[in-house]
Amino acid sequence: MVVEGSNENDQIILATGGYDHTIKIWQTHTGICQRTMQHAESQVNALEITPDKSCLAATGYQHIRMYDLASNNPNPTVNYEGITKNVTGVGFQEDGKWMYTGSEDCSARIWDYRLKSPHAAKIFQTSAPVTCVCLHPNQVELLVGDQSGVIHLWDLKTDHNEQFIPEGDTMILDIDVDSEGTHMAAVNSKGRCYIWSLTFGREGEPTKMHPKHKFDAHKRQALKCRFSPDSTLLVTTSADQTARIWKTCDFTLLQELTQDNQRWVWDAVFSSDSQYIFTASSDGCAKLWNVKSGHMEREYAGHQKAVIALAFRDAVL
């Protein structure tokens, strides 16, 4: 029921957005654009699909906009405002109870996005613009990275927070925690990747973070890091025109995904069985790669400008 006339593709949603002020929904196995939505006034910084797959959230300058995936409405249905600068990240609690965002106005926020529980709204102030937000799979701890190189661990239940500084004055660009909640990865503007192993805090206590590994993933800025759903792989994307897949057992390189003239690789996401990976790049294309072979399988062309955000929902058979 995602898009009309695509019943066979019901459960798979791939959305891309970027600098051309549009969001496109793709039929993943054919590479055909099914739908284009307007994101007026600003570029798309980040995209996320709600857990019930009914809506797509897109963040831009000062706004978070919600698009209906069930209809063909090219305009947003809900507009969240009140942030003074770019909204850099968005995500949802796994049951869709609330939405979290990070923004360059030095804050991370919890939104009661369905207007059901007015007391859900929360704000967490940082000293530098927030570049990324990531929810721990335990659903109560939010990891917030900022431009000064600090990673904040914010406990939503107690509002207790802790700070980690892997490398001073080096912008943290992305953080991810694997689905089992045992490892955390962060990448910075020097292309370095940091790995922590996480141990569960006892009831009420925050998660403990133990630095485990660090390596130079890229020569230039690393832009995104993402664990595979089975936690065996980690993908990092970079301004050096590549996306690299690392094995999490020893952090050795498994594949380098690169193509001539693809320019900056902004975003990447694994399929639910960790066999494929989508990337978004400045050449205006999203691409699908086979993880095992490292070959590009599909190309999703149609954007006028750089594609910088991806949202993907797969289904398990």
Partner 1 sequence: MALYNNKLWLLSHIRDSFISTDDTGMSELVMVGDDVPKQLADKLDCYRDPEDSEDDEDTSHESYDFHLDVDFEVQRQRSNTAVRLEKLDNAKKRAAKVKNIKWEFSPVRPTEQELGELFVRKEPKKNVSNTRKSLLSEKLEQCTNLPQNPYIEYAKFDGSAQVGILTRKYKIFLTMLPEEHRNYPMTVSCIATAKIEELIGFILLKCSTIHGDFPLKPVSHYGLYITEEDGEVDHDFPNLDPKESVAKFGFTCLGLVEHKQITKNVSFESSQTIIQHEGSDEINKISSKLHMDDAQQITANMHLMKVHATAMEAPLYQSYRVYIVNKMRAKAEIQLGISGEKIEIDPLQQKNSKFTFVRQKPVSHHIDSVAWCEVTDTKSSGTAFRVVYSSSFGGGGGSTNVNVNVGSIQSPILQTSTSFKHYDFEADHNTAEEIVQKINLILELRSSGSRKEYLASRERKQRRRSFHSNK
Please identify, using beta-carbon distances, which residue of 149 and 206 lies nearer to partner 1: 206
Nearer to partner 1, 260 or 316 (CB): 316
List binders of partner 1 among 43-62 (CB under 8 A): none
- Asked if 254 and 287 count as a contact pair (C-beta separation under 8 A), the reply is no
How many chain residues are in contact with partner 1, going by CB under 8 A? 77
In the complex with partner 1, which residue's Cβ is closer, 137 or 294? 137
* 125 scored as a contact of partner 1 (CB under 8 A): no
What are the residues facing 253 on neighbouring strands?
Answer: 246
φ, ψ for residue 120, nearest 5 deg: -70, -30
Q: Which residues contact residue 12 at a Cβ distance below 8 angstroms, ignoring those fewer than 6 apart?
A: 2, 28, 312, 313, 314, 315
Helix (H, G, I), strand (E, B) or coil at 202: coil
CA distances (Å), origin 121, targets 47, 108, 144, 198? 21, 11, 17, 27
Q: Which stretch binds partner 1 (CB under 8 A): 161-169, 185-193, 259-267, 272-280?
A: 272-280
Report DSSP state, residue 167.
S
Site for partner 1 in 296-315 (CB under 8 A): 297-299, 301-304, 314-315
Q: Which is nearer to partner 1, 36 or 163 (CB)?
A: 36
Q: Which stretch binds partner 1 (CB under 8 A): 46-54, 165-173, 252-260, 268-276?
A: 268-276
Please name which of 221, 291, 309 lies closest in space to residue 43, comparing C-alpha atoms.
Answer: 309
Smallest distance from partner 1 to CB 297, Å: 7
86 binds partner 1 (CB under 8 A): no
Phi and psi dihedrals of 233, rounded to 5? -130, 155
Subset of 152-191 contacting partner 1 (CB under 8 A): 156-157, 179-182
